[in-house]
Structure 1
Amino acid sequence: MSDNLLKNLAKLFSPSLLLLALLLGYSAAATADTITEPVRTFTGHSSGVSSVAFSPDGRYALSGSRDKTLKLWAVDSGAEIRTFTGHSSGVLSVAFSPDGNYALSGSWDGTLKLWEVASGAEIRTFTGHSRHYVLSVAFSPDGNYALSGSWDNTLKLWEVSSGSEIRTFYGHNSGVLSVAFSPDGNYALSGSYDKTLKLWGVASGAEIRTFSGRTGWVQSVAFTSDGNYALSGSYDLKVWAVASGAEISTFSGHSNTVNSVAVSPDGRYALSGSADRTMKLWLVDTEIRTFTGHSDYVRSVAFSPDGHYALSGSDDKTLKLWGIYLDCTYRITPNSQIANFTESGNVSVSATPADCPWTVSSDADWLTITTGNSGIGNGTVEYSVAANHTPDERAGTLTIAGQTFTLTQPSPVPIADFSFFPESGFPPLTVRLDASASSDPNGDIVNYTWSSRLAKCQTLPGMIIGITLEAAGEYPIMLTVTDSEGFTASVEKIVSVIDLPPTTVFTLSPSSGKRAIADYHWLVNGQYLSGQKASYTKQSECQRNTR
C-alpha cells in the first residue's frame, strides 16, 4: 500500500476506519461472509421504482415510482402499509423528514409534495420550477427546509412549513439530477447532466466551487457523515475533498452508469446502484461485495440508519432489502469430519450477533446438504454422503458463512476372498488356495498372506498356493490382502480333512489258552502307547507350491 494512498485514506476516513482498512488488507475475502441474496423483496408498484429511503428509525421504507405513487413499507415483513397518491406523473425522488413524520417527493409533473407519513395525506404542493421534472429532493438536517433539483437547470430551497420558495441556485447549464444537504445544513451539493458537481452556500445561494473531471453526467451525489468529502456517481464513483474540490479516488467496477450512491451513517462504507442491474458495497476504493438480483436498472440505493441493511429500487418495479453484515463473526464446529459411504452427519454454526445470516454450498456432487442450506444466528447443517461416485473423490467441502468444512472419506479398503479345491478329502490332502477373487477399489493389491492356526507353517505368501494336510481335522485358513496404500482386509475359511477309522489286524501268541492278557503295549513311529485301545494323531506338514 503506497504512502500517498495511506494519506488519502487518512484524509477520507476516521483513524478507526483506516485501521480497519489496513486489517482488511483490501481483501474481500477478509469479510465474514459473502451473502449477496436479498433479505426480502417488496412488490406492489406497477412501474419502475425510481427512489427509495429508510425512515430515521429504520422500521419503514419509502419508495417512489413511475406509476405516480409513493409507497410505505414495513421493513421487517415487507408488507405494504399505504400508498400516497396525488402526483400526475412519475415520482422520481423521495425523502423522509429527520423526525420520520413527513415524506417529500419530486415528480415528472414539475412539483414537490409534502406528505404525512402516518396517514398518507398530502399536506402541500411546492410549485416553482419552470420546466417539468423535479429529479431530486432532500430535507435539511433540521427538517425546516427542502431542496430540489430540476431539469430546468436549477436548485431551489423551500420552507417546509409554508411551501414558500426561499431562493434559486443558478449555475448549471443542464438538468440537475441529484441534490444533497451537508450534515450541518450549511452547504448543498448538486450533480448535473452537464457533467459537473457544484457546492453551494445554502444561506446565500452562491456557488462556492465546481468539481469537474468527469466523463459523463452526474447521476447521484452524497456527503460523508463528517461533511468533509463528497461522493458522486456517473460512469464510475468518485470521492472529492469538499474544501478544495480535489478528486481523491475513483471506484471502478460497474459495467454501466452509476445511478445512485449512498454513504453509511458511520462514513465507513459506500453503496452504489447501477444500470448494470447490480448494487455494490465499497470500502475506500475497494469493492467488497456485489448484490445481484434485480432484473433491470437499479435507480436508487440507501443505507439503513444503523448501517446493517441496504435498500435498492429498480426499474424491475421492486425494492429489495439487503443485509450488509460486515461485523458478523461465525464459528463452525467441527471444521472437518470423516464419513463412510452413505453415512450422514452435521455441523454446528454459531453467529454473532444473533441476527447474522449464513448460507451453505457444497463443492462435491456426492456431498448433499439435507437440512440447513441457510440460517440466521445459530443453527445446524446436516449432510449425507452418496455411494455412487468414483473412489478418487475422497474429500469434499461445505462453505458455511465463508468458512470451509472439509469432509474426508476413509480410503476404500480392499476386499479379501479366496476359493479352494478340493473343499474336503482324506489325508493326505493337497489343497489349492486361490485368492484371485480378492479385489481393491483402486485395483492395486500388492500382497497376499496365508496363515493357519493349526498348520505348522504359520504364514505363506502368494496369490495362488498349494498346501498338503496329512492329518484329519478342521483347518481354518486365513487370507490377508494389502493394497498399495497400506489398507488391509482378511477372510477365513475352513478346509476339512476327513478321518477314516483304520482296520488293524493283530496276531496273538499263544493263540489259545486259559491265561488272560494282562497288558497291551504299542509302538507307533517310535512312540510307545499302552492300553487295550490307544489313539495316535500324526501332525500335518505344509508344503509350499506357488505359481
Structure 2
Amino acid sequence: MVVEKIDTFGGHREPIYALEGSASTDRFFSTGGDGKVVRWRLDRPDLGELIATVPASVYALALNPTSGLLWVGQNYEGIHVIDPVEKKEVASLKLTSSAIFDVKFYKNDAFIALSDGVVAVVDTDQLVNRKHLKASEQSARSIAINPVEREFAVGYSDNVVRIFDLTTHTLKKVIPAHANSVFTIAYSPDFRYLLTAGRDAHLKIWDVEKGYTLHSDIVAHMFAINHLAFSPDNRLLATASMDKSIKIWDAETYQLLKVVDRARHAGHGTSVNKLLWVDSQQLLSGSDDRTISVWKLS
C-alpha cells in the first residue's frame, strides 16, 4: 500500500475535533475548539466556507441523512441544528450543561452521548428529548448502532461498553472492555463484530454473535486511540491516535497495513483526533495542530 498526502486544509484557530461528510461527495464539514463549523471543497483547500459559529468548543458534528440538516453539539449548551444550504440555525435544543461527545441517528431518533454519563434519545422531527439513559457516573463518549441485532453500543469513561436495546432502550449487557476510558467504538460493516478503543491504546474486537466475547486484543498504538473508521468499501480500517499517527488495517483480518506519521509522510505534529473517509481511496484526518490532511491510498 502507498499512502501520500495530497492536501492540507488550514484555517481553524483551535484543535479540530470533528469531521463530517456532506450530501455532496466533494465537500465536507469540520469543527473543533474554536466553535466554527466550516464547509470545505476537496479540490479547493483555500476556500473554507463558514457555515455557523457557536460560542464554545464542539466535539460532535453529525449530518442527519433524512433532513440534510447538520447537528452541532455545543459544549455545555446543547444542540444547534443548522441548514448548511442557507447557512443558518433552524432549531436548537437546550439539552444539557455537559459536554456533548457523540451524535448518531437511527430512523427518527438521535442518540447523544454526554459527559455526565447520560445518553439522551431525541426525537429528530419534534426536537424533543424522549429519554435520558443514565448507566454511568462517567462520560458517555461514543455510540455505535447495530440495526441487524436491534442494539446500540455506548463506550464510557469508566472503561466499560454497554449494550442497549434499540427499541426499548433497556440495558442488555455490560462489558468491562478496557483498562481506561473508551473513546471510540464501531460495528464492523457486516455487524458481526464490535470494535472498541481508547486511552489504553488497545484495539479490541468483540464477537457480537457469541454474546460479545473477546475475539482479538491488539496493542495498536503507543498512546490513546481517539477514533476508528471503516472505509466505504469495507476493506480497510483506519485508527487515529494521540501518538500523532494514523494506522491503516485490513478490515477483515485486522492485520496492520500502513503507519502514516510525520517522519514518513509529513503527517500531523500533534494528536490526531478524527478521521473521515471521503471514498475508499481518500481519507481525511483532523488534529490538535489545527489542520486537516487529505491522504490518498493506493
1:309-340 per-residue CA deviation (whole Å, 9 max, x = no partner) reads: 11111111111111222xxxxxxxxxxxxxxx
Q: 1:269 to 1:253 in 2, by over 3 A?
A: same
CA contact (8 A) 2:15 2:288 kept: yes
1:187-236 per-residue CA deviation (whole Å, 9 max, x = no partner) reads: 22211100011111122111111222311110111122222221111122
Structure number, greater radius of gyration: 1
Partner in structure 1 of residue 170 of structure 2: 206
CA contact (8 A) 1:92 1:134 kept: yes
Partner in structure 1 of residue 98 of structure 2: 132
Partner in structure 2 of residue 182 of structure 1: 146
Deviation at 1:296, TM superposition (A): 1.0
- SS of 1:189 mapped into structure 2: strand
Deviation at 1:100, TM superposition (A): 7.7
Partner in structure 2 of residue 246 of structure 1: 213
Identify, as 1 or 2, the structure richer in strand.
2
Partner in structure 2 of residue 105 of structure 1: 72
Partner in structure 2 of residue 301 of structure 1: 275
User: Unpaired runs of 5+ in structure 2?
Assistant: 262-266
CA contact (8 A) 1:88 1:109 kept: no
| 2:2 maps to 1:34 | yes
Deviation at 1:237, TM superposition (A): 1.2
Deviation at 1:34, TM superposition (A): 2.5
Deviation at 1:39, TM superposition (A): 1.7
Alpha-carbon distance in 1 for matches of 2:75, 2:204: 28
Deviation at 1:40, TM superposition (A): 0.9
Q: Within 5 Å, give how 1:260-339 maps onto structure 2.
A: 260-283=227-250, 284-292=253-261, 293-304=267-278, 306-325=279-298
CA contact (8 A) 1:301 1:310 kept: yes
Alpha-carbon distance in 2 for matches of 1:83, 1:192: 32
Count how many residue pairs are aligned between Structure 1 and Structure 2: 288
**Superposition TM-score, scaled by structure 2 size:** 0.90
Deviation at 1:43, TM superposition (A): 0.7
Aligned Cα RMSD in Å? 1.9
Runs (4 or more) in structure 1 with deviation over 3 Å come to: 183-186
Deviation at 1:290, TM superposition (A): 1.5
Instruction: Tell which has more relative contact order, 1 or 2 (C-alpha 8 A, sep 6+).
Output: 2
One-letter identity of the residue aligned with 1:209: K
Partner in structure 2 of residue 367 of structure 1: none
- SS of 2:125 mapped into structure 1: coil
Alpha-carbon distance in 2 for matches of 1:276, 1:184: 34
Deviation at 1:76, TM superposition (A): 2.7
One-letter identity of the residue aligned with 1:83: L
1:75-102 per-residue CA deviation (whole Å, 9 max, x = no partner) reads: 2332444223342210111122225822
Give 2:119's match in structure 1, choosing from 155, 168, 180. Answer: 155
One-letter identity of the residue aligned with 2:277: F
Alpha-carbon distance in 1 for matches of 2:223, 2:281: 26
One-letter identity of the residue aligned with 1:134: I
User: Unpaired runs of 5+ in structure 1?
Assistant: 1-32, 326-547
Partner in structure 2 of residue 88 of structure 1: 55
Deviation at 1:147, TM superposition (A): 1.4
- SS of 1:172 mapped into structure 2: coil
CA contact (8 A) 1:225 1:265 kept: no
1:84-129 per-residue CA deviation (whole Å, 9 max, x = no partner) reads: 3342210111122225822112122231221112122112112223
- SS of 2:120 mapped into structure 1: strand
Partner in structure 1 of residue 14 of structure 2: 47
1:354-385 per-residue CA deviation (whole Å, 9 max, x = no partner) reads: xxxxxxxxxxxxxxxxxxxxxxxxxxxxxxxx
CA contact (8 A) 2:161 2:177 kept: no
Deviation at 1:185, TM superposition (A): 9.2
CA contact (8 A) 2:79 2:95 kept: no
CA contact (8 A) 1:104 1:115 kept: yes
One-letter identity of the residue aligned with 2:268: H
CA contact (8 A) 2:154 2:163 kept: yes
Deviation at 1:184, TM superposition (A): 5.3
Alpha-carbon distance in 2 for matches of 1:303, 1:260: 12
Q: Within 5 Å, give how 1:135-534 maps onto structure 2.
A: 135-140=101-106, 142=107, 144-183=108-147, 186-234=150-198, 235-243=201-209, 244-283=211-250, 284-292=253-261, 293-304=267-278, 306-325=279-298
Alpha-carbon distance in 2 for matches of 1:249, 1:56: 35
Deviation at 1:154, TM superposition (A): 0.9
Alpha-carbon distance in 1 for matches of 2:189, 2:220: 24
Q: 1:185 to 1:77 in 2, by over 3 A?
A: farther
One-letter identity of the residue aligned with 1:200: F
| 2:41 maps to 1:74 | yes
Alpha-carbon distance in 2 for matches of 1:204, 1:228: 22
CA contact (8 A) 1:183 1:223 kept: no
- SS of 2:5 mapped into structure 1: coil
Alpha-carbon distance in 2 for matches of 1:198, 1:58: 33
